[in-house]
A and B are shown apart, each in its own frame.
Chain A
Amino acid sequence: EAQVTQNPRYLITVTGKKLTVTCSQNMNHEYMSWYRQDPGLGLRQIYYSMNVEVTDKGDVPEGYKVSRKEKRNFPLILESPSPNQTSLYFCASSFRAVPAYEQYFGPGTRLTVT
């Protein structure tokens, strides 16, 4: 089954404790992206990757890091989480980074930073 998986689905952590949210897709997609969803703001892009070893900042990259060492994986790293990073996070992928391709979303990771 074609899918995007994320782990963990739920995470409660404390300020400053490094964490990684994993994202994996099995569709051989070139383009992958991370979004955060906050009430009243819709989804905003954090980072994206056009292909292996090619990553770039989205609209809200502060406090986050990513890497793309393999085509299927695109982990999101919070080196020193803060309470304003409490949010619902989605990973997405698409065949290529051209506008009309459908993006497939993972089920989401709900992160709470206390």
Chain B
Amino acid sequence: GNSVTQMEGPVTLSEEAFLTINCTYTATGYPSLFWYVQYPGEGLQLLLKATKADDKGSNKGFEATYRKETTSFHLEKGSVQVSDSAVYFCALSNSNNQGGKLIFGQGTELSVKP
């Protein structure tokens, strides 16, 4: 079946540090991959997405590359800010699975200290 595994948190970094949050997936066919972000007290927002192998999604300084050979979609940012503190969810959606249902990883909490 389809599943997503992401690194456990919490992750604590100092401002301007480099961020990597690992995400690997299991899926048949060619899923679309997403990173969603949840700021405290809010719903989830799409951060970036990639729909085919080797695509790179990017937004707000965050990047992730769809690697089919390693079934990975790791999130990176070169220099984090305090305002990036949030929970990050990796997710996939597959056309062979309930018409586009999002399957989420367990979430990784990021805390950035000044």
Contact = CB atoms under 8 A, between A and B. Distances in A.
Interface residues of B, number: 25
A107 B45 CA distance: 10
B101 A33 contact: yes
A50 B100 CA distance: 10
Nearest to A91: B43
Given A41-B106, A107-B43, A100 B99 contact: no
Give the contact-size bracket for chain A: 20 to 34
Contact of B93 (A42, A56, A58, A100): A100
Interface in A42-100: 42-45, 48, 50, 56, 58, 90, 92, 94, 96-100
Interface of A: 4, 31, 33, 35, 40-45, 48, 50, 56, 58, 90, 92, 94, 96-103, 105-108
Interface of B: 4, 31-32, 36, 41-46, 49, 51, 89, 93-95, 98-102, 104-107
